[in-house]
Structure 1
Amino acid sequence: MSLVNTKIKPFKAQAFKDGKFIEVSDADLAGKWSVFFFYPADFTFVCPTELGDVADHYAEFQKLGVEIYSVSTDTHFTHKAWHDTSDTIAKIKYTMLGDPNHEISTNFEVLRPGQGLADRGTFIVDPNGVIQATEITAEGIGRDASDLLRKVKAAQYVASHPGEVCPAKWQEGEKTLAPSLDLVGKI
């Protein structure tokens, strides 16, 4: 079953952000756009390339009012240790959630049965806590922060322009569509 158009489930977790340990809960998301960026584990291979890519685009997400939450089943202590020992991870300014009890990974249905690791899952959550987009990739397939940014802009556009939709490859400022009987079979 798809999680699109469902409300996120309550959670509470410890996180590492800006050199500090903080607590984050679903209540902290209220009224804001959010991205949950799940990955299998700290100190691995594809994961730091993805997290570094998101870090490189973080300022752009912030300009859109979007908070990024990276999530693995590691602890917030492990996130700090990785941040302190990797130049790539040291760039991260967004929140790194620890999920050692698997609550968040289970809530978002990305926990790998019997492994204790999360799949590569990306979730765009609107200010009402409703999931607007998801992407799940296999272990060896890294994600692209530029495309994630494009999808966030499309989700925000559609949310603020009822009756309009964004076609494939839509970029900010490009033409949208207004679904109607007149368009059926003409695209």
Structure 2
Amino acid sequence: MGIIGSQIKPFTATAFQAGKDFFEVTDEDVKGKWAVFFFYPADFTFVCPTELEDLGEHYEMLQKLDVEVYGVSTDTHFSHKAWHDTSEKIGKLNFPFLGDQNHVLARNFDVLREGAGLADRATFVVDPDGVIQLVEQTCEGVGRNANELVRKIRAAQYVRNNPGQVCPAAWEEGEDTLAPSLDLVGKI
């Protein structure tokens, strides 16, 4: 079975978030709002801080969409704090980072590079019911784009809130959607 449409699996992780003490996050904490699990290979690396900074620039907008963001790597919460305290890019970020040194989350989302102990570069969007709605995964050297992530989240939220409607390619909020029916077959 594919991961799209599946329920997130149980987990408990220790989080670091700027201005807060370390705290626990579980699968139960995620339910009731939209969530992004933003996996990256490791702290103190090269492409990762550019992606995380880009995501951080969209964090306030995502919060307004009732979306919580979790940065996730197989590093510890202590490493996340040290990276935050020493990196100009990471030091600006306000969303929580989950430590996954036991690889529970990376295995739950099937992004663990066995033998390397690192997570693949992957993004998962989870709806308020704890169901995975979107997945993006790239190779090691290809960074992600937070603008596209926000667009996809808006589309997923629209589809959830408007049963019977779907969003065509490159759909932006406020544009026309489609209502799939036999009348449309062969006419698009």
TM-score range, shorter chain: over 0.9
Q: Does 2:86 correspond to 1:109?
A: no
The residue correspondences of 1:149-160 to structure 2 (distance < 5 A) are 149-160=150-161
Q: How does 1:129-168 map to 2 (within 5 A)?
A: 129-168=130-169
Name the SS of the counterpart of 1:44 in structure 2.
Answer: coil
Match of 1:12 in 2: 12
C-alpha distance in 2 between matches for 1:140 and 1:186: 40
TM-score normalized by the length of structure 2: 0.98
TM superposition shift of 1:174: 0.5
Computed over aligned residues only, the root mean square deviation of the Cα atoms, in angstroms, reads 0.6
Q: CA deviation at 1:18?
A: 2.4
Structure 1, unpaired ranges of 5+: none
Please give the alpha-carbon distance, in whole angstroms, between the structure 2 residues aligned to 1:185 and 1:90.
52
SS of residue in 2 equivalent to 1:134: strand
Q: TM-score, normalised by structure 1?
A: 0.99
* Deviations 1:54-74, CA, capped at 9 Å, x for gaps: 001100000000000010000
Q: Distance in 1 between matches of 2:180 and 2:25?
A: 39
Which residues of 2 match residues 24-63 of structure 1 at below 5 A? 24-63=25-64
Question: How many equivalent pairs are there?
Answer: 187
Shift of 1:2: 2.1
Match of 1:64 in 2: 65
Paired letter, 1:11: F
Q: Distance in 2 between matches of 1:7 and 1:170?
A: 26
1:16 maps to amino acid: F
1:174 alignment partner in structure 2: 175
- Runs of 4 or more above 2 Å deviation: none
* Counterpart residue identity of residue 139, structure 1: E
* One-letter amino acid matched to 1:3: I
Structure 1: which amino acid aligns with 2:185?
A: V
Distance of 1:128 and 1:18 partners within structure 2: 27
